[in-house]
Amino acid sequence: MASQHRKPRSAGARVAGIRTPALATAALTSVALLSQTANAAPSDDGKPSLEEVEKKVDDLYRQAESATEKYNAAKEKTTKQRKRTDGLMDDVAQRTQKLNEAREELGSYAAAQYRTGASAPDTAAFLLADTPQDYFDQNQLMSRLTGRQKGAVDDYVTEQSATMKQRQEATESLATLTDAQHDLKIAKATVQKKLAAARELLSRLTAQEKARLAAIEKQRQEEAARKAAELARQQAAEQAAAQQESGGASAATGSSSTAPAPAPSENPAYATKAEKALAFARAQIGKPYVWGATGPDSYDCSGLTQAVWKAAGVTLPRTTYDQVNAGTTVSLADARPGDLIFFYDDVSHVGVYIGNGMMIHAPKPGAYVREESVFYDGESAIHSVVRPA
């Protein structure tokens, strides 16, 4: 998307972090471990360290994903503008045909008047002129026209005015389409440039460096899994407390119902839709990430979430920038299966929450749709949680 399409969000829109000291301790432990790894790999030859390469590659992938969302927006705008332009051009063609028919009818009247001497020769020139409106105030001329002929003149002038207006709109629409196509071309080139740079950096790594990189990634995944488990425990505790409170209230009012009351945040209608959405999401696991793709064989991040909720009968916008506004924002602690989890300050990534601190998402170029902790890139990366239906 070109930057002008991005919908800015205030810092207050970000979700609150998990409110447990255990995760803070785990995070500090992770930082210490990663610092030890980084310190263990100094670079004495001027080459970037493995950790610097990793960070650069991650940054490039993120930039590529951000550019992908800009591409998606530009593509969507181009498609809409092309459709509008085509419609205007079709309308202009139809109006031009009607204008020609009206001109021919006027010509026949003028020819008949000329043959019978009912009007001066310059009347024919008037009736066949492009702008006869200029002469309508000449009473001696208009008095010579029958009611039908006067109607033909009026129809001609009206059609001429409408046709000129539509031609102007079509011209402006074509200019807008050209701008949109330019934005699309730039966004596409940006994505390709970022991905090429990332591939180039990775291609320079030795087998030993790639192994170390994989070890660092595994360590991150383990830390992310621990945070996901902590979030799952927190959510379970809060739901149990809510149910207990609700059950106590029912008992106090003499309720005869024996069924456990649902947590306040539960919505049966939403849960039903979310179940359909998640069933579709799980069926996409293993399909490749392809920037700009919306399925069914490959997806980018927002293409996947759009398709997931479409399977449940809910229409979402195409881009992350619009999807983040397509629902109700909730806290991370209140996240429920089916909710959308957005990442980074520029809202350039999204996944669908499946519960227990996990999500299904299309991660990045070169990866596949997979189930992963919502903390895959750290808690600070989480921007917001949105319930779309």
Catalytic residues: 301, 349, 361
Asked if residue 223 lies in contact with residue 26, where contact means CB atoms within 8 angstroms, the answer is yes
Reported as half-sphere exposure (CB side, CA atoms, 13 A), residue 123 has a value of 25
Residue type, position 116, single letter: T
**Residues facing residue 366 across a β-bridge:** none
**Residues facing residue 382 across a β-bridge:** 343
Burial of 71 (0-12, 13-18, 19+ CB in 10 A): buried
User: Read out DSSP for 76-132?
Assistant: HHHHHHHHHHHHHHHHHHHHHHHHHHHHHHHHHHHHHHHHHTSS-HHHHHHHTSS-G
Q: For residues 380 and 59, give the distance between their C-alpha atoms in angstroms, rounded to a whole number.
A: 15
Asked if residue 92 lies in contact with residue 167, where contact means CB atoms within 8 angstroms, the answer is yes
Tokens 């192994």 found at: 211
Instruction: Give residues with Cβ within 8 angstroms of 177, minimum separation 6.
Output: 78, 81, 82, 85
- Token digits for 124? 């024919």
Instruction: Give residues with Cβ within 8 angstroms of 265, minimum separation 6.
Output: 242, 330, 334, 336
Give the H or E element holding residue 352.
strand 349-355
Give the H or E element holding residue 14.
none
Q: For residues 79 and 87, give the distance between their C-alpha atoms in angstroms, rounded to a whole number.
A: 12
Q: Report the length, in residues, of the chain.
A: 389
Instruction: Give residues with Cβ within 8 angstroms of 183, minimum separation 6.
Output: 2, 70, 74, 77, 78
Tokens 């991370």 found at: 332
Alpha carbon 344 to chain centroid distance?
Answer: 15
